[in-house]
Structure 1
Amino acid sequence: MSLSDDLSIGIDFGTSNTVVALADRNGNVEALTFEHGGERLKVYVTALCFWDERHGNGLRTEVEGGPWAIEQFLDGLHAHRFIQSFKTFAASATFKETRIFRERYAFEDLLSAFLRTLVRHGGSRLDWGARNVVIGRPVQFAGYNPDDDLAMQRYRTAFSRLGAEQARYVYEPVGAAFFYARQLDHDATVLVADFGGGTSDFSVMRFSRQGGVLRAEPLGHAGIGIAGDAFDYRIVDKVVSPRLGKGGLYRSMGKILSIPNHYYANFARWNHLAMMKGSGDLKELRELARVALEPEPLEKFIDIIEYDLGFALYRAVSSAKVALSNQEETTFQFQGESVDIEAKITRADFESWIAEDVKRIAGTVDEALSRAGVRPEEIERVFLTGGTSFVPAIRRLFVDRFGETRLTSADQFESIAYGLALIGQTDRPERWAVMN
């Protein structure tokens, strides 16, 4: 596709993946691509790798993002810090900063570092200061007691550093809804369900066409900080952590005590696991291993953190989750250093672990409908986007409420960014923006 000038940019900064789309005045839209390893990628993995390189007589911290971060991490040629799922810290008031080698990084520092790598690999088409930029945001940010105002302040700081001071922020499911609405040839009330890595967001929209121009009225939104990463958490908590000392005991001052669970709660969340090596957790775990009644499982836990095996674990968990979307059981396998875990997981097991999460997601769907003043039978189409929408328990939730024939879906990665870029080409893109 060949795009004309006067482009708008849509940015879907996701917990697991980031997509950037470009749209022109004629309604043409395409994803920005990244050339890596002989492939043209439309998805830029939301990950950072920091490492030290010697320059002259001193050391300088270098950073890469996306697939280049993974490549640098897997090469393992330097001491490094690998960070993923850091979007989950955006709305956390308790996350102040993390130390990486000799420097301290607040959330906005991590985000701006990530964006700079994206710009470097994306080329000259990302001159954000001179273009109309529309950035997606969750309806509700992830995390315990999320502070949306804090998250937006951090977003604005990071994007402003790249020249996007005038960017507009739009709910992610609204971007997906706008992309989907181009297919409509009649007026319709649509529910958009956007499942990301950190959040599940829902928007009810009323679409109509007047004089050939697409009109949209947002009727109601709701979101919850439960999505793909939360389902991963259940697999780690049920399958991996018990083999790494969870539930174990240690001796202290003549007493037998349980190993604190908070280490395993952090371990099972990708954003926290990425930070454990730079926090005091690793030192404390080593001390616990010395007094544990069964030290070997704790030593394996320490190896995963010390040898940066979190990304390999993430891949193993994701593979098991995807397999359970297509078959009734799978074998979870993870190997690295001293750790060798193999376990059979059935879909029934997995669905029992995530049942409470699915229930809360269902409640959030009902909340979106309630805010919109719309009954389930008044929804003409349900547009599903995001990888978690393929989880059978999630799919069943929507089939039960709306019926199979009303469900539709699109590219699980690109639809939000496409819609955001297209919003940037409307007569009044500010109408779609969230005012906070």
Structure 2
Amino acid sequence: MSARPQDISIGVDFGTSNTVVAIATPDGRAEVISFDHGSQRLSGFVTALCFWEERKGTGVPRLRIEGGPWAIDQLLAGTSAHRFIQSFKTFAASASFQETRIFRARYRFEDLLSAFLDTLVSHGNGGLDFQGARLVIGRPVKFAGSHPNDGLAMERYATAFGKLGAATTTYVYEPVGAAFFYASKLDHDATVLVADFGGGTSDFSVMRFERSGGALRAEPLGHAGVGIAGDTFDYRIVDRVVSPRLGKGSSYRSFDKLLTIPSHYYANLARWHQLAMMKTNGDLKGLQDLAKVALEPGQLHKFIDVVDYDLGLALYRAVSAAKMTLSTAETAAFRFVEYDVDIQATITRRDFEAWIAPDVARIAETVDEVLARSGVGESAIERVFLTGGTSFVPAIRKLFVQRFGEERLTNTDQFESIAYGLALIGQDPDAERWAVRRAA
């Protein structure tokens, strides 16, 4: 796609699990940037970083950084001491996360994001140049976390993305990007509900689209979001199937008392990115001390292995595989076998849906919230546009079918629609009307 930098708009869907980048030109064409990884051409760049030191001869060790699937390659190679960090978007709005130490260096959230963006550009097949372009960045309606600080997250985004050298930078709600992609194909006026299910958040927008003189006009009627999504559903499986086999609920002896292993260690399993932090925040040392006085030390030793051998990624894949199977089958065989850790179980869809029922209820409440903010009822919604992998979870699909009917639901590419929409928004002469002007 050849065009002058000032004519190009770049949409960045920086996601919890994957990041997708699209480029649009004035002629209305848009394409997703691909990444050649071995024999594969990938449209999604895994949101992960791997840090390691490389020493040549007797010289000072040099810090190396890789991102995306290349970060995973380095993790799996395991040829040197390293730090692997994934899903770090979840830290964006956390005031309690100030920095992490990586091989004697201090990294704030914006430093991690800048490092990640550098690796993204370096692997972009030479077709990813932000200099002088119009940059449109997606952001969730509600950031993940128990007490997310919206303003802090946006300051951190601005610092990291500001280093890319774009001519202009606009922030747009992620579901609005998805809505624009969908609306670009509309041939009539419509009121649309967009439900964007990511890894860390579920975001909803109601948009009114109208065409006048061949131009697409849009009015955002309301937005709402909740910090519940795919990672939350994953954790329900971990909490019921994995954690009990790693010592959750078991006891240790302290002098003449029997006490329960503190549950905060297992909360780390709710957030994949936290597992790597356990090596440096004292949690791993705490587990090792508890194993010496535990009544069932073998279980804690398995937990220690998960952290010590960086098995979080393998665990994440096993959980995701089971969840995906349950989207089309009534049972799933869960299997996680790494080193001395052997956890196998059969999960039924009925049990899984019982585990996630409170989460689905909160998502339903958020749908109520966005409709109330928009001032429209369910009958006024012509189409419901679902995007994101979690939209294929039967319990989520059922929620929308019951409210809006199967005939009003539309699914599209679960990974690329937001990035496409963001890039196309950048070609709008009045792109600022799509921008986020205040916190959700």
Shorter-chain TM range is over 0.9
Q: CA deviation at 1:274?
A: 2.8
After the TM superposition, which of the residue ranges 165-174 and 292-301 deviates more from structure 2? 165-174
**Would you say 1:92 and 2:94 are equivalent positions?**
yes
Question: Alpha-carbon deviation of 1:165?
Answer: 7.2
- Which aligned segments of 4 or more residues in structure 1 are displaced greater than 6 angstroms? none
Distance (whole Å) between structure 2 residues aligned to residue 277 and residue 338 of structure 1: 19
| SS across alignment from 2:252 | strand
Residue 190 of structure 1: how far off its partner (Å): 0.1
Write out per-residue CA displacement over residues 298-355 of structure 1, whole angstroms, 9 at most, x where no aligned residue.
0000000000000000000000000000100011000111100000000001000000
Q: Does the CA-based 8 Å contact 2:190-2:209 persist in structure 1? A: yes
What is the DSSP-based 3-state SS (H/G/I as helix, E as strand, rest coil) of the residue aligned with 2:285? helix
Q: How does 1:189-268 map to 2 (within 5 A)?
A: 189-268=191-270
CA distance in 1, matches of 2:173, 2:154: 12
Distance in 2 between residues matched to 1:152 and 1:268, nearest whole Å:
24
Please name the residue that 1:424 is paired with. Answer: 426
The equivalent of 1:82 in structure 2 is 84
The equivalent of 2:297 in structure 1 is 295
Matches within 5 A, 1:344-383: 344-383=346-385
User: Residue 33 of structure 1 corresponds to which residue in structure 2?
Assistant: 34
Aligned-partner Cα distance in 1 for 2:266–2:247: 9
Please state whether the residue corresponding to 1:87 is helix, strand or coil.
Answer: helix
Q: Secondary structure at the match of 1:161?
A: helix
Cα contact 1:204–1:372 (8 A) shared by 2:
yes
Per the alignment, residue 139 of structure 2 pairs with 137
In the superposition, the TM-score normalised over structure 2's length comes to: 0.97
SS in 2 for 1:111: helix
> 1 CA distance for matches of 2:224 and 2:13?
18
Shift of residue 102 of structure 1? 1.2
CA contact 2:34–2:125 (8 Å) conserved in 1: no
Q: Secondary structure at the match of 1:183?
A: coil
* Runs of 5+ consecutive residues of structure 2 not aligned to the other structure: none
Contact 1:3 1:28 in 2 (8 A): no
Listed as ranges, the matches of 1:272-283 within 5 Å are 272-283=274-285
Query: Aligned ranges for residues 94-109 of structure 1 at < 5 Å?
Result: 94-109=96-111
Distance of 1:124 and 1:428 partners within structure 2 = 29
- Segments of structure 1 that go 5 or more residues without pairing to the other structure are none
Corresponding letter in the other structure for 1:325: S
User: How many aligned residue pairs are there?
Assistant: 435
Deviations 1:97-116 (A, max 9, x none): 11111111111111111000
Question: Deviation digits for residues 167-225 of structure 1, max 9, x if unmatched?
Answer: 11000000000000011111000000000000000000000001000000000000011
Shift in Å at residue 126 of structure 1? 2.5
Per-residue CA deviations over 1:53-99 (Å, capped at 9, x if unaligned) read 00451111111000111111111111111111110010011111111
- What code does the residue aligned with 1:433 have? A
Please say if residues 329 and 345 of structure 1, whose CA atoms lie closer than 8 Å, have aligned partners that are also in contact. Answer: yes
* Aligned residue number for residue 409 of structure 1: 411
Q: Cα RMSD between the aligned structures?
A: 1.1
C-alpha separation in 1, matches of 2:202 and 2:81: 36
CA distance in 1, matches of 2:244, 2:172: 41
TM-score by length of 1: 0.98
In structure 1, the residue matched to 2:189 is 187
Instruction: Report the identity percentage.
Output: 70
**Equivalent runs, 1:39-58 vs 2, <5 Å:** 39-56=40-57, 57-58=59-60
Contact 2:134 2:167 in 1 (8 A): no
207-216 or 101-110: which moved more? 101-110
